[in-house]
Amino acid sequence: MTASAHTGGAVTADHDLRSELTEFYARQMQALDAGQAEQWAATFTEDGVFAANAYPQPTVGRAAITEAVKAAAAQLAADQVVHRHWLGMLAVYPVDEHTVRTRFYALVIQTPKNGVAAIHRSTIAEDELVRGGDGWQVRRRDVTRDDL
C-alpha cells in the first residue's frame, strides 16, 4: 500500500475513524497500565485474540485476557515498577463499515520506584478491530518485539 493511499476516497469518514481509534487506543493503554483488567479486556471482543512473538501461544478470549493482565499488574506492583505503553505511528486501513485493520509501533516505558525511566520494549503491532454497539473492539492483535 502506498503512503498516499489513505488520502483518496471518503476522506471525512476516514478522519473520524482515525480520531475514534486514537481515542480508543489512548484509553485502552491507560486501562492496561492502571491494571484495570476488566476494562482492558472489554476493549477486546468476547473471543478476542492477543498474540505475540514473545509467547508460544496466543491468549484467547476475554477471561484469559483479564487473567493475564491481573497477573502482570500484580507482578509490577510487587516489583514496584510502573509500565507505560505508548502507541505511535498509527496507520489505519479501513476494510468495511464495521472492520478496520491498523499497524502501529508500541513502546513500553518502565520506571522503577525511585529509579530511572527507560525503554523496556520496542514493538510493532497489527490489529483487526470490529465496531459493535459499544464502540471499537480488538478481534485480534499481533505484537512483534523488535529484539526477537
- Options 87, 100, 125, 129; binder of a copy of itself; rule CB under 8 A: 87
Strand segments, DSSP code E, in 71-145 are 81-96, 99-112, 118-132, 135-145
Determine contact, residues 138/46, Cβ cutoff 8 Å: no
The DSSP secondary-structure symbol of 33 reads: H
Range 41-80, binding a copy of itself (CB under 8 A)? 42-43
C-alpha cell at 67: 487473567
Determine contact, residues 85/105, Cβ cutoff 8 Å: no
Angle, alpha carbons 52-86-24 (nearest 5°): 85
Determine contact, residues 129/104, Cβ cutoff 8 Å: no
- For residue 139, state whether it binds a copy of itself (rule: CB under 8 A): no
Binding segment (CB under 8 A) for a copy of itself, from list 5-13, 52-60, 62-70, 71-79: 5-13
- For residue 122, state whether it binds a copy of itself (rule: CB under 8 A): yes
Binding segment (CB under 8 A) for a copy of itself, from list 15-23, 51-59, 66-74: 15-23
* Chain residues in the site for a copy of itself (CB under 8 A): 1-8, 11-12, 14-16, 18-20, 22-31, 39, 42-43, 82, 84-92, 103-105, 107, 109, 111-122, 124, 134-137, 146-148
